[in-house]
Structure formats: structure tokens, C-alpha cells
């Protein structure tokens, strides 16, 4: 409607070509909206509305099974920060992430470099190292339970052979988080390796040739001069993905430790799951989810704001 109104107000000497251009632009805009509509609808229905619902739930005392609920403002959030379990789970998640992320990134890079340097068995090693991504973590958890079993597990059996009394890996509060972290590293190294391999193949071969001619004799010098800087965008992406995956740790906790012993493997998703699905306190669990989301978003923003400029060179 607005378009017609403006057109009629135009002075007569406005050229026909100009009007045609305006009409073409309008038409293109309409088509663009039509083509984008399905995606926009899906984003709203599947992502934005549920997120909004979680946020609204977090302001209520809604519990599953009860008919009514009241808006209680920020009471859930206030309760959260006095909740010892939540604070422990926040701390444990942070420790878990701090262990898993650097190890899985650097071991992933190392494995990728080794596979890239290999000429004959490349496809074989790539497949073998990719297996953990393809395998089901819940199923593999039983294997780890056996491996790390304090009395019949092969890990402790091997340790005892060299005279070390192995700990009760998953059963003692001092080692349980470390054990879970090792399983987490085992799983994400393989995925990170695949991403790094893709990044490595994108580095122009000429740069390595130039580095050699310029005097970079050792492979370490070529790594410092070419590989590491050229992998910058990949490393940033891998790190981000690794952090997100580490913060989301759940399957191993659920299947192996259930947060124990004595809350020493209590992590965020596990706590949310307990509150929401076991104690049915949907409102309270929603508040935790909002904190969880906010934590992730802030982390990503910081990473991209601070680092993105430093790893993209064009």
C-alpha cells in the first residue's frame, strides 16, 4: 500500500526506468521473504519460543503435576545462588571443562599432525581415531566402568604390576572428576582431530616451501611459522566446540556416577536433570537452564570478540 502511495506522489518527470528499478527491488524483497519464511518459522517455533518458555518458567514456581503456579519473580535465581548443590555443580563443571578442553584440543592437533604426516596408513588411522565419535558414549561407558574398576579393572591391574596401588577411579571423590575428564578427552580428541585434519589440508603447500627456502629447517620451526598461525580459525572453532561439549557433559555422569560420590561429580546438566525430572521442580530447573545458556553465550561472545580478529588475516 505504501508503495502505491509513494509512486502516485512522484513527479511526472520521474523516469520510467527508475520506477521499474524500484518495482524490481520490491519484488526481489518479497521473494526473499518468501524463501526465508520456512527457515524463520522453524527458528521461531523450535528455538526462540522454547527458549522464551524456559525463561518464563524460570520466573514461576511451577512444578510438574500441580495445576496452578505463581509468578515469583527472581526468587528462583536468588535461591540458586544459596543452593550448595548448584554451586558445587558449577564448580565441578568448570574444573571438568578446564581439564577436557586444553587436552582434547592439543592432543587432537597432535594426532592430526601425525596422521597428516603419514603417507601410507593415513586412511586407516583416520578411521580408527574417528571411532569414538561414531560410538555411543552410553554403551562405551560400561567398557570404561570395567576398565576403571578398582579390583577387576585392567587399569589398576597394570598399575599394581609396577607397584602402584591404583585408586578407586570412579568411586572416590578425589579421582572421580579426573576419571570422567579422561573419558571426555577420549571422546572429543577424535572429533577435534577430524576438524584439524580439514584445517591442515587447507594450508597452501607453497607456504611450507617458502618457509623451507627462508631457512625454517626443523619441522618445529615450520609449525611455528606456518601451521599454527594458519590453523588459527580452526583452533578457535575447535576450542569453542570443545568448551561447549565439555560444559554439556551428562551421559558419563548419568551412567557411571550419578553425581556421586558425595556430589563430587555433580555437574550442571545432571543437577538440572535431577531438579526437573526427578524432583519435578520445573521452574527451578528452568532458572538453572537460563544460567547455563547465559554462561555458554557469554563464553562464545568473549571467544569471538577477543580472538576472531586475531585469527582471520584478510
Partner 1 sequence: MSAFALRNISKSYGANSILNDVSIEAEEGEFIALVGPSGCGKSTLLRIAAGLDHGDTGSIWMGDREITAIHPADRNVAMVFQSYALYPHLTAEQNIAVPLAMRNLSTLQRMPFLGRFVSGRRTAQAGIKQQVLTTATSLQIDHLLDRKPGQMSGGQRQRVALARALVRQPGVFLMDEPLSNLDANLRVHTRAEIVDLHRRAGVPTIYVTHDQSEALSMADRVAVMMGGKVLQFDSPASIYDDPRHIEVAKFVGSPRINIINAITSENGAVILAGKTVAEGVTGPVGTPIQLAIRPERIKLRSASAKGIAATISRLEFLGSEVLVATHVAGTEDDLVVKAVPADIAHLAAGAPVTLQIDKDACLIFGQDGLRVPMRTPTRIAVDA
Q: Which is nearer to partner 1, 80 or 200 (CB)?
A: 200
| Omega within 30 of 0 (cis) for the link into 54 | no
CA distances (Å), origin 196, targets 19, 104, 193, 200, 314: 52, 12, 5, 6, 20
- For partner 1, give the closer residue by CB, 84 or 217: 217
Nearest approach, Cβ of residue 207 and partner 1 (Å): 5
CA distances from 90 to 77, 97, 243 (A): 14, 11, 14
Q: Which is nearer to partner 1, 13 or 218 (CB)?
A: 218
Report yes or no: 216 and 222 within 8 Å, Cβ to Cβ. yes
Residue with cell 578425589: 174
The minimum distance between CB 311 and partner 1, in angstroms, equals: 8
Taking CA 39 as the corner, what is the angle to CA 36 and CA 45, rounded to the nearest 5 degrees?
135
CB of 88 to partner 1, least distance (A): 37
Q: Which residue, 141 or 226, is less far from partner 1 as judged by CB?
A: 226
Nearest-approach distance from CB 192 to partner 1, in angstroms: 22
Helix axes 282-311, 232-247, angle to 10 degrees: 170
Q: State the cell numbers at 75.
A: 526468587
Minimal distance, residue 77 CB to partner 1, in Å: 42
Closest to partner 1 by CB, 48 or 210: 210
Cell numbers of 280, please? Answer: 519435578
By the 8 A CB rule, do 162 and 77 touch? no
End-to-end Cα separation, the chain, in angstroms:
44
Identity of the residue, 132 or 232, whose beta carbon is nearer to partner 1 in the bound complex: 232
Give the shortest CB-225-to-partner 1 separation in angstroms.
7
Q: Point out which residues bind partner 1 (CB under 8 A).
A: 204, 206-207, 209-217, 221, 225-226, 229-230, 232, 313-314
Q: Which is nearer to partner 1, 100 or 238 (CB)?
A: 238
Task: Tell me the C-alpha distance between 301 and 307, whole Å.
Answer: 10
Cα 96 from Cα 181, distance rounded (Å) = 6
Tell the smallest beta-carbon distance from residue 205 to partner 1 (Å). 9
Which cell numbers hold the place of 20?
A: 521499474
Amino acid at each position: 500500500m505504501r508503495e502505491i502511495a509513494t509512486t502516485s506522489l512522484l513527479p511526472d518527470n520521474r523516469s520510467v526506468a527508475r520506477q521499474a528499478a524500484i518495482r524490481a527491488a520490491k519484488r526481489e524483497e518479497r521473494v526473499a521473504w518468501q524463501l526465508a519464511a520456512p527457515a524463520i518459522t522453524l527458528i521461531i517455533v523450535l528455538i526462540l519460543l522454547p527458549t522464551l518458555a524456559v525463561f518464563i518458567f524460570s520466573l514461576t514456581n511451577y512444578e510438574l503435576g500441580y495445576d496452578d503456579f505463581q509468578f515469583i519473580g527472581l526468587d528462583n535465581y536468588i535461591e540458586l545462588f544459596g543452593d550448595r548443590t548448584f554451586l558445587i555443580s558449577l564448580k565441578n563443571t568448570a574444573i571438568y571443562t578446564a581439564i577436557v578442553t586444553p587436552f582434547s584440543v592439543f592432543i587432537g592437533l597432535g594426532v592430526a599432525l601425525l596422521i597428516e604426516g603419514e603417507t601410507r596408513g593415513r586412511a586407516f588411522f583416520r578411521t580408527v581415531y574417528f571411532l569414538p565419535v561414531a560410538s555411543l558414549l552410553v554403551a562405551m561407558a560400561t567398557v570404561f566402568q570395567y576398565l576403571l574398576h578398582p579390583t577387576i579393572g585392567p587399569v589398576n591391574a597394570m598399575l599394581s604390576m609396577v607397584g602402584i596401588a591404583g585408586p578407586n577411579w570412579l568411586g572416590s571423590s578425589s579421582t572421580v572428576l579426573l576419571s570422567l575428564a579422561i573419558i571426555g578427552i577420549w571422546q572429543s580428541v577424535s572429533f577435534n582431530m577430524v576438524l584439524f585434519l580439514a584445517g591442515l589440508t587447507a594450508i597452501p603447500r607453497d607456504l611450507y616451501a617458502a618457509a623451507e627456502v627462508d631457512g625454517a629447517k626443523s619441522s618445529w620451526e615450520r609449525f611455528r611459522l606456518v601451521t599454527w598461525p594458519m590453523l588459527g580459525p580452526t583452533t578457535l572453532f575447535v576450542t569453542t566446540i570443545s568448551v561447549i561439549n565439555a560444559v554439556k557433559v551428562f551421559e558419563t555422569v548419568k551412567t557411571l556416577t550419578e553425581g556421586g560420590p558425595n556430589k563430587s561429580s555433580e555437574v550442571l546438566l545432571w543437577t538440572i536433570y535431577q531438579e526437573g525430572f526427578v524432583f519435578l521442580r520445573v521452574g527451578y530447573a528452568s532458572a538453572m537452564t537460563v544460567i547455563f545458556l547465559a554462561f555458554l553465550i557469554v563464553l562464545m561472545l568473549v571467544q569471538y570478540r577477543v580472538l576472531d580478529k586475531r585469527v582471520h588475516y584478510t
